[in-house]
Structure 1
Amino acid sequence: MEQTNINFKNKTILITGAAGFIGSNLVRRLMELDGSMTIIGLDNLNDYYDVALKDHRLDQIDKLSAKHPEKKWIFLKGSISDKTFIDGVFKQYHPKIVVNLAAQAGVRYSITNPDAYIESNIIGFHNILEACRHSYEIYDGGVEHLVYASSSSVYGGNTKVPFATEDKVDNPVSLYAATKKSNELQAHAYSKLYNIPSTGLRFFTVYGPAGRPDMAYFGFTDKLRSGSDIEIYNYGNCKRDFTYVDDIVEGILRVMKSAPAKQIGTDNLPLAPYKVYNIGNNKPENLLDFVDILHQELIRAGVLPEDYDFESHKKLVPMQPGDVPVTYADTSALERDFGFKPKTSLREGLRKFAEWYKEYYHA
């Protein structure tokens, strides 16, 4: 087990992408922990998907914040690709723990809008690393731990399953995947050069209430509700390691508390205090089974009528560029080091999503 070497009490925690799906859930979870802390949330609120959903997540945080006066919640609108802005945030607020979740997401969007990925995922992450580097000069102790989002997409077309962090990941099949692998390389270089404790987390198909509308389960729901057909890629021969958002957040929290130890090598230079973990459900689900359970839970929640003709709205289509046939996480390292393994079943998670969807959209 990794030693817990960071206490959140009275610390300032910076979370980028705080209006995003994972980021907003992480902020809310931090609000519910014991003790005082300052939480700085940063997001550019771009229109990649409906900004009203991001505003909804921030409203939920504000309501929770009002119930926890011991937590100081500060939201800042801005982009991690704006170096002056990021440097100013670090100089003013002196964050001790940084969780970088801000990124341009989506595999298919990276094919049509590559510039957005270079700006946010490469330049933006570089700005975060530079700010962490200079934090040691600006305030006492500087950044104690940088945790950042990577992705299961880095495994590309790997045929060995389950995917382990020791596997070679040098053949990305999308620009999005390439930027995430680049983040891991950037973080390693800065950890080695400047002794910045950093941990990368490869997320596997995160889902849940108030999730991203570009994700399959959300898009399928919108289409089924409107009576449109849904397209199931690779003729249904896809498997995904669906991971419920609460499990992802619990994994992040445990990792945040355990920064990789700083050590000196035989050359009297720092060894990189650097780690990478998978966070997945360790149980890939067939996409056809997934949509069948989703359909059942949407009927149960009242989003779809009981007599909904699901089969007539289901189309099996070829694989799309950038997609992979299977994602499957080897989570043994996460379990070994943190005693943690995701536990939410697919049906339980989709039930919570369907109930949220019914309430939010008054479906």
Structure 2
Amino acid sequence: MKYTNIDFNNKTILITGAAGFIGSSLCFYFQENYPDAEIIALDCFRSGETFSNGNLKSFGHFKNLLGFNGQVISGDINDKELLKELERNFNLDYIFHQAAISDTTVQEQDLMVQTNVNAYEDLLKIAIAHGANMIYASSAATYGDSDRFEVGFEQPNNAYGFSKVMMDNISYKYIKKGVDISIVGLKYFNVYGPREFFKNKTASMVVQFGHQILNGQTPKLFEGSDKILRDFIYIEDIVQANIKACAAKQSGVYNVGTGCARSFEDIVNILQKELEIDNGKEYIPNPFVGSYQFFTEANIKSTKENLDYEPRFSMEEGIKAYLPEIKRLFETEVKKG
């Protein structure tokens, strides 16, 4: 479905991180709804390279773009020559900037800031030069140790959250300058849904629990997990927020969640009910006590007011919509893997 009256046909749209979870979902939204839009999908794609924590440097996967008809460019947003080529070769109307180091456990602070902060400002300058509206991925990780999930109350507790705060600060700097483009940052809460599978260990617990249950395993939950609450948001509502951000009443940074915190216990209960498989539950000690968020819930008042955003999927509805894909992945990826 279309989320705005804006006609994106004959517009040039750059999507960074386009082979990732949210980037690829945006690629297909435009392809399906605006066949005459020029979509440029930029991603550095995965290689064997890893960070010091052993996780991949890029989660971008070609399978997320199977069936995509637009232009695909393999490149790193830290490559200033690549950015110059993009600026020269395309007349951009919109930039959806999803590319980032999004692994919160990455220890390479220098690369985190270079990729998430400095490259963002380089892209923002291109957007301003082209008169292209900028919509970018911020994160609920900016709140960290805060107990108030509103813009202005950020307390990041890792380098990733810090980098996203710095991106938001850059945005406000340019907004205050009175630039002629719209700049909207979207603080995503806990996103789940199709095309996240190739995030590996950083994919949501929805798909991970789903595959454990289908595999005959007993889902492992932290002790007290019925009291560990998160704002889980289905990918379709993330896409909705990105599209509606193109018609934002004012530039700024906005929370994107459901505004309703749910427990990890709820996820397992819904999955086992929908799959009609009851493998029970196993409770294990939480090794992250002291550095773990026990509660997140987006305040979406300003998002509703300025983006006309309204979450459409409860957790029950989101998991139900996701199940066919969870089952397909189990057959085609998990069992074969």
Query: What range is the shorter-chain TM-score in?
Result: 0.7 to 0.9
Q: Give the corresponding residue for 1:86.
A: 83
Task: Compute the displacement of 1:224 (Å).
Answer: 4.5
Q: Distance in 1 between matches of 2:292 and 2:220?
A: 14
The alignment status of 1:57 with 2:64, answered yes or no, reads yes
Q: Quickly say closer, same or farther: Cα 1:18–1:191, change in 2 above 3 A.
A: same
The alignment status of 1:14 with 2:14, answered yes or no, reads yes
Q: Give the corresponding residue for 1:179.
A: 163
Q: Could you list the per-position Cα deviations for residues 98-150 of structure 1 after superposition, in whole angstroms to 9, with x for gaps in the alignment?
A: 1101011132x23x4444422321232132123234x2xxxxxx233111110
The alignment status of 1:255 with 2:241, answered yes or no, reads no
Q: Distance in 2 between matches of 1:178 and 1:51?
A: 20
- After superposition, residues 163-174 of structure 1 pair within 5 angstroms as 163-165=149-151, 167-169=152-154, 171-174=155-158
Question: Helix, strand or coil: the match of 1:15?
Answer: strand
Match of 1:310 among 271, 280, 287: 280
The structure with more radius of gyration: 1
Q: Give the corresponding residue for 1:102.
A: 99
Task: Compute the displacement of 1:41 (Å).
Answer: 0.8
Q: Distance in 2 between matches of 1:124 and 1:222?
A: 36
Question: Helix, strand or coil: the match of 1:32?
Answer: helix
The alignment status of 1:355 with 2:332, answered yes or no, reads no
Task: Compute the displacement of 1:53 (Å).
Answer: 7.5
- After superposition, residues 173-322 of structure 1 pair within 5 angstroms as 173-193=157-177, 195=179, 196-211=181-196, 212-213=199-200, 214=202, 215-225=204-214, 231-233=220-222, 235-236=224-225, 237-258=227-248, 260=250, 274-297=251-274, 299-300=275-276, 306=277, 308-311=278-281, 313-319=282-288, 322=291
Higher relative contact order (CA 8 A, sep 6+): 1
Q: Quickly say closer, same or farther: Cα 1:39–1:120, change in 2 above 3 A.
A: same
What are the ranges of 5 or more consecutive residues in structure 1 without an aligned counterpart?
A: 66-72, 136-141, 261-273, 301-305
The one-letter code matched in structure 2 to 1:290 is I
Q: Quickly say closer, same or farther: Cα 1:36–1:310, change in 2 above 3 A.
A: same
The one-letter code matched in structure 2 to 1:208 is G
Q: Give the corresponding residue for 2:50.
A: none
| 1:144–1:259 Cα contact (<8 Å) kept | no
Match of 1:344 among 300, 304, 313: 313
Q: Give the corresponding residue for 1:40.
A: 40
Q: Quickly say closer, same or farther: Cα 1:174–1:338, change in 2 above 3 A.
A: same
| 2:116–2:164 Cα contact (<8 Å) kept | yes
What are the ranges of 5 or more consecutive residues in structure 2 without an aligned counterpart?
A: 48-54
- After superposition, residues 327-342 of structure 1 pair within 5 angstroms as 327-342=296-311
Q: Distance in 1 between matches of 2:15 and 2:290?
A: 32
Task: Compute the displacement of 1:197 (Å).
Answer: 2.6
The one-letter code matched in structure 1 to 2:182 is P
Q: Distance in 2 between matches of 1:52 and 1:117?
A: 15
Q: Distance in 1 between matches of 2:80 and 2:220?
A: 40
Q: Distance in 1 between matches of 2:5 and 2:269?
A: 44
The one-letter code matched in structure 2 to 1:21 is F
| 1:209–1:352 Cα contact (<8 Å) kept | no
| 2:137–2:186 Cα contact (<8 Å) kept | yes
| 2:95–2:133 Cα contact (<8 Å) kept | yes
Tell me which moved more, 93-102 or 344-353: 344-353
Tell me which moved more, 30-39 or 313-322: 313-322
Q: Distance in 1 between matches of 2:235 and 2:124?
A: 26
Question: Helix, strand or coil: the match of 1:327?
Answer: coil
| 2:231–2:259 Cα contact (<8 Å) kept | yes
Task: Compute the displacement of 1:231 (Å).
Answer: 4.7
Task: Compute the displacement of 1:194 (Å).
Answer: 6.9
Tell me which moved more, 112-121 or 89-98: 112-121
Q: Give the corresponding residue for 1:129.
A: 124
Q: Distance in 1 between matches of 2:110 and 2:330?
A: 33
Q: Distance in 1 between matches of 2:121 and 2:41?
A: 19
The one-letter code matched in structure 2 to 1:207 is Y
- After superposition, residues 60-75 of structure 1 pair within 5 angstroms as 60=67, 62=68, 65=69, 73-75=70-72
Task: Compute the displacement of 1:229 (Å).
Answer: 6.3
Q: How many aligned residue pairs are there?
A: 316
Q: Quickly say closer, same or farther: Cα 1:145–1:224, change in 2 above 3 A.
A: same
Q: Distance in 1 between matches of 2:321 and 2:57?
A: 21
Q: Distance in 1 between matches of 2:216 and 2:109?
A: 32
Task: Compute the displacement of 1:324 (Å).
Answer: 1.3
Provide TM-score, normalisation by structure 2. 0.84
